[in-house]
Structure 1
Amino acid sequence: MFSVKELVDSNSLRSVPSNYICLNNPEDSILYNETENIPTIDFSQFTSSNPNERSKAIQQLGNACRDWGFFMLINHGVSETLRDEVIRASQGFFDLTEKEKMEHSGRNLFDPIRYGTSFNVTVDKTLFWRDYLKCHVHPHFNAPSKPPGFSQTLEEYITKGRELIAELLKGISLSLGLEENYIHKRMNVDLGSQLLVINCYPPCPKPELVMGLPAHTDHGLLTLLMQNELGGLQIQPNGKWIPVHPLPNSFFINTGDHMEILSNGKYKSVVHRAVANTKGIRFSVGIAHGPELDTIVGPAPELVGDDDPAAYRAIKYRDYMQLQQNHELDGKSCLDRIRI
């Protein structure tokens, strides 16, 4: 199977191969004027000594998870230098020879390191304009040894990311009316899964014909995402597609399916997709933070009652990830399979 980058690098593409042509137009139902309304959360307020400031930030966080399932995080303390190094190192990996990258072409979802293309070429009816590198980086850190320095840069970055998510999960617990460490304890977050996904979207001569990644939601609790200067992320919080334009040095954070399950539907996982462009290679670096793989996730008992019956059946996190991998990406179809 050719990677998209190899396909682009080896040919002066003027047309799109037929197996990549998507039937749905990515430009459908775009709502262009809503970007400025995307919630922005100031992380520094979570560590403020002013209790009123922290309380306000927690309320804003809860509103963002309930109404959008998505927000931009600013003043997070992760240096721009480190963020730039991660993007450069990621580009260095995808610039390796195909033979070097194929050393990591695992077929198993839980292989420590896995390089590939599209989403799952055994079930995808249409191939997606995307190559990826996936690394399970917690509770055991795994990363390719090439290019030099790549592994060390990633390890520093994912440690910073885990610290940010840990604080946000405390705020989310409080916003749900639960004890601050509720999610940490119930989801065994200290030993939880941290999956690094680096996406490479090469330029496409006809981006309107292809899809980088189709509409889907993420597994897990929260995903932390950054990208290079080329945009392509679109979210669908309320039925309309909204292109996301990041604030300088900000992170994107979106709630995952397991946050929706745990909160019994009070907080929603957001449907999102990635579109291609003609200008250059877009890189995105996402870290999906979830429970420990063998944790059984169901609605928190404290959020279930006579007026709010359980909306989802409990499922082991590992089994949910396998369920998603074995089917086509299609909106909330995976979550719908365990909806009561």
Structure 2
Amino acid sequence: MAAVAQNSSFVKALAENPTLKSIPSQFTFATDSKGSQSDSLPIIDFSLLTSPNPDQRCRVLADLDSACREWGFFILVNHGIPEKLLKAIIASSLEFFELPEEEKRRYEAKSASDPIKSGSGSLINTANQRVHLWRDFVKSYVHPEFNCPTEPHALRETLQEFSGKTRPVFRKLMHAIGENLGLEQGFVDEALKLDSCFQLYAANYYPPCPEPDQAIGIPAHTDHGLLTFLIHNGVAGLQIQHNGEWFDTFSPQNAILVNNADHLEILSNGRYKSVRHRAVVNTEATRISVVMANGAAPEAVVAPAPALVEKDGRPFYRPMKFIEYVETMLSNRLLGKSNLDCIKIQDE
């Protein structure tokens, strides 16, 4: 079976082999993948952020603050992005994974700064062994410059529209977050240069796995950027960590799962923590997730907001140019090593 894995750089081909009864050893990632269920995952009604009713708006701002502060995660409903578009981006992402291997292999990453990347991915564990992940992916930088694989044809137009529709939602959430943090109106736009905000599209393909407890889709990590948006094909698999415990996330149809990412933790000087999350796999169904990572402009230097530093007496994070952080993170293949840890300013 190891030979099958070596002949293909994509997990899809391996998973579709009818003789596969167990995973090849290079995929072994022992973890307890069970998550608890919670009926208290925060739900944010996006439409209320523009409510003419001041009480309603005040309540949703308080809910958003609580979600960012306590969970680092929320389920966004009534966001105004058409259901048809959400379905189309998942369908056209699936089409990419169904392309012939040689077409997908055109985008195998040669460096962290490649604007389009495809593959399955691996990392180095604490025993200095390379562990392969049970997923295939395609990633591309879609804003401020738009990049997209040439095939399938449907992906380009759909992705352009999806990127365009998610940006105003992201921006409005960031304005509300700035308000909650007590930052001056306009500060978030100006400091992060949100007109040129960075967006990275990532689609992940997790085929059924014969031994889901022995493999991992994506191990526990935090994201670069400010807020990550995620939608999926209805198959569960995203787990988030809350107070040291792992929780399964379930979302109503058409909702967007949103999590705090590293640069929101930096901007807020640690008030809103970047949430650890992971992707687990199952034996029955293929899971597809589509992610839009939303960040500051590539050239923006992200640092704790001066108004918050003044309140706290000092900054807890070093400033760093956004794109440098992203590329350092994308080239970091070490399990458990966090970029955020590297720019935290330790107590004297």
TM (norm. structure 2) is: 0.92
Q: Which residue of 2 aligns with 1:14?
A: 21
* Residues 123-169 of structure 1 deviation map (CA, whole Å, 9 limit, x = unaligned): 87211111110010000111122112211011111111111101101
Which segment drifts farther, 330-339 or 147-156?
A: 330-339
1:104, distance to aligned residue in structure 2 (A) = 1.6
- In structure 2, relative to structure 1, the CA distance for the partners of 1:338 and 1:96 (3 Å cut) is same
Q: Is the 8 A contact 1:118 1:131 kept in 2?
A: yes
Name stretches of at least 5 consecutive residues in structure 1 with no aligned partner.
Answer: none
Q: Is the 8 A contact 2:30 2:213 kept in 1?
A: no
Which segment drifts farther, 198-207 or 7-16?
A: 7-16
Q: Is the 8 A contact 1:217 1:332 kept in 2?
A: no
Q: Secondary structure at the match of 2:289?
A: strand
Where do 1:1-340 residues align within 5 Å?
2-27=9-34, 30-32=35-37, 34=38, 36-119=39-122, 125-305=130-310, 307-328=312-333, 330=335, 333-340=338-345
Cα RMSD after superposing both structures: 1.8
Which segment drifts farther, 292-301 or 197-206?
A: 292-301
Q: Is the 8 A contact 1:120 1:325 kept in 2?
A: no
TM (norm. structure 1) is: 0.94
Q: Is the 8 A contact 2:229 2:292 kept in 1?
A: yes
Q: Secondary structure at the match of 2:210?
A: coil
1:117, distance to aligned residue in structure 2 (A) = 1.0
CA–CA separation in structure 2 for the residues paired with 1:91 and 1:258: 30
CA–CA separation in structure 2 for the residues paired with 1:308 and 1:16: 52
Name stretches of at least 5 consecutive residues in structure 2 with no aligned partner.
Answer: 1-7
- Structure 1 ranges of 4+ moved more than 6 A: 121-124
Q: Secondary structure at the match of 2:245?
A: coil
Which segment drifts farther, 255-264 or 76-85?
A: 76-85
CA–CA separation in structure 1 for the residues paired with 2:25 and 2:185: 51
% of aligned pairs identical?
Answer: 42
1:31, distance to aligned residue in structure 2 (A) = 2.6
1:329, distance to aligned residue in structure 2 (A) = 5.5
Q: Secondary structure at the match of 2:343?
A: coil
